Structure 1
């Protein structure tokens, strides 16, 4: 795979990464994204953006955008190094590990599970060493003493693919793991904002007036890492404004230029005429000592339009009560945001590389 990525960056081929262990999904991607049809010469890769949730669109990534992303990442982290490959190479986060390795002239070391982290990280050798994970992987690794100790020897562990629970961040800090939270998507060659600060060559703005009463707006991204567009264009086109990509995320930027992601447009809950962002409620719930993990979503309600519902994975044998969690949330957020319904679950449903599947929760508890 590394050789194929090298050829793509050199302009010799255009790649469509597909999951080797999922024949049905591979066929869907190759058919829908027209694997052998002509494509612009500067497109190095087409990365699927919604194959598990809808019709794949396919972000067309140029070699210039991919290499710009890799160079910007290395500058931010302190220089090129060797990478642990712990994510599937058909997802943009895993793919970028290969791109960064080609740019750095190094070879990554693969690990298919947390139990392989220690040996794989040891095989990286000396010099600067990095990993790219999702929060669920990091959480699992921190429960394994050998994996946690190995991660603590790395210069940086990028964590993206969705929000990281506060409890996981605290455990990583206690274990000495140098976590860098990343934000980005296939359309931006992966992570393009690190710990809230845009990489060199990346532009960020927030368009206000399109979201919640609390003041966030839609995040819009631009700059050197931007995709050329979609293989299968959609309407409305998020690339319609030249040089910019209009995301489905809601965020805010501080006066010092630090971006905070507060939720997604399609996850926002309209309850009693007010808007609640699930991610803010989840952050509040996660601070409760009896909550290990949680997900917040809206279900139909005849009186309110939607009511706020929480699925909670308890931290121990005892489960917190709904009234207890409502009081806890109301200490930091408006009472409207407090869940009106709670379901205790053994684990949260996930899709792709670890994102919580809110649609599955809505279907289950509606």
Structure 2
């Protein structure tokens, strides 16, 4: 009995507010109350909406949802805090196309979803798993396997922990550089960097480096003017990373851009960003 509303055209705060508020009309038949609303966003979209939350219709739209599911990439803590301050209810989701979307909510697997780790990699089982990749048996065999009990598991490619019933994702196993002979997870570096004021939407990419082999670079969109210089922001980010991951993991540079390249999904286009940085570097 529900009628999902799909945005047409480019995602924007105005189009989001218009679509949301159109669903707040009285229920059919004159029954009392309004429908419970849910939507799903990636962090970049949420950030765009929060930046426009001084506009009353946008703020009202955000506050109208019983829950806004946020997935596709890690949710920066500053974004979560900004949303909480406005009374916006967020739920972190974890999953993939192979798991029919989010199947872990705020770290807790849904009923019938099983999670375990093998050599640090998260694996998922349950009735929501895809049968495989159409026409690609080799890739299917690589990413799906059965254990000794015949249970079928999806190999997520994500590093993480499953402890006391809670999933903690550390980052992609393949988003790693080797700098000075030491493996560095760019996802973990990025998560820390996004805690720096002004770098909430930053992306961290790896580039070749003559001395270390590879180095990490922070790329962030220019936002509101901050009292601190870019050098001070970089120093703050390097200190945070050093304290948590070690000095070897510190980003080498900070590059500010007018706008980050994004995919149709709204996620950062990391490969495009990496190529642009490599050319500059």
Same fold (TM over 0.5): yes
Secondary structure in structure 2 of the residue aligned to 1:327 = helix
User: For residue 346 of structure 1, what is the aligned residue in structure 2?
Assistant: 258
Among 186, 194, 205, the alignment partner of 1:278 is 186
Residue 86 of structure 1 corresponds to none
Alignment correspondent of 1:156? 67
Q: Give the 5 Å matches for 1:234-273.
A: 234-235=138-139, 237-241=142-146, 243-254=152-163, 256-273=164-181
Which whole-Å CA distance do the structure 2 matches of 1:194 and 1:273 have between them? 36
Distance 1:142 1:323, change over 3 A: closer
Stretches of structure 1 lacking an aligned partner (at least 5 in a row):
1-104, 209-216
1:224 to 98, 123, 127: 127
CA RMSD of aligned residues (A): 2.0
User: 1:253·1:259 contact (CA, 8 Å) conserved in 2?
Assistant: yes
SS at match of 1:288: coil
- Relative to structure 1, is the Cα distance of residues 122 and 344 closer, same or farther in structure 2, using a 3 angstrom cutoff? closer
Instruction: Report the 3-state secondary structure (helix = DSSP H, G, I; strand = E; otherwise coil) of the residue aligned with 1:110.
Output: coil
After TM superposition, give the deviation of residue 314 of structure 1 in Å.
4.2
Cα 1:117–1:301, aligned 2, differ >3 Å: closer, same or farther?
A: closer
**Number of the residue aligned with 1:320:** 230
Unmatched segments (≥5 aa) in structure 2:
25-33
Q: Separation in 2 of the partners of 1:149 and 1:273?
A: 51
Deviation by residue 1:165-187 (Cα, 9 ceiling, x = unmatched)? 22221211111111111111111
Q: Deviations over 1:35-74 (max 9, x none)?
A: xxxxxxxxxxxxxxxxxxxxxxxxxxxxxxxxxxxxxxxx
Partner residue in 2 for 1:335: 247
CA contact (8 A) 2:171 2:188 kept: yes
- Aligned partner of 2:205 in structure 1 is 297
Query: Are 1:132 and 1:157, in contact at CA under 8 Å, matched by a contact in 2?
Result: yes
Maintained 8 Å contact 2:41/2:70: yes
Label 1:151 to 1:230 Cα distance change in 2 as closer, same or farther (>3 A): same
Q: 1:187 to 1:151 in 2, by over 3 A?
A: same
> How many residue pairs are counted as aligned between the two chains?
253
1:133 equivalent to 2:41? Answer yes
> Which whole-Å deviations, capped at 9, do the CAs of 1:125-171 have from their partners, x for residues lacking one?
41322111221221112223322221212111111111222222121
Q: What's the CA shift for 1:201?
A: 1.0
Q: Residues 114-193 of structure 1: matches in 2 within 5 Å?
A: 114-125=13-24, 126-144=34-52, 145=55, 146-193=57-104
Q: Distance in 1 between matches of 2:17 and 2:256?
A: 34
Distance 2:21 2:255 in 1: 42
CA contact (8 A) 1:298 1:309 kept: yes
CA contact (8 A) 2:203 2:219 kept: yes
Compute the displacement of 1:278 (Å). 1.5
CA distance in structure 1 between the aligned counterparts of 2:177 and 2:161, rounded to whole angstroms: 18
| 1:266-312 C-alpha deviation (Å, 9 max, x unpaired) | 21111122221112212221222232421112112243221122113
- More moved, 278-287 vs 120-129: 120-129
Q: Shift of residue 315 of structure 1?
A: 4.2
Q: Match for residue 110 of structure 1?
A: 6
Deviations 1:62-113 (A, max 9, x none): xxxxxxxxxxxxxxxxxxxxxxxxxxxxxxxxxxxxxxxxxxx321123334
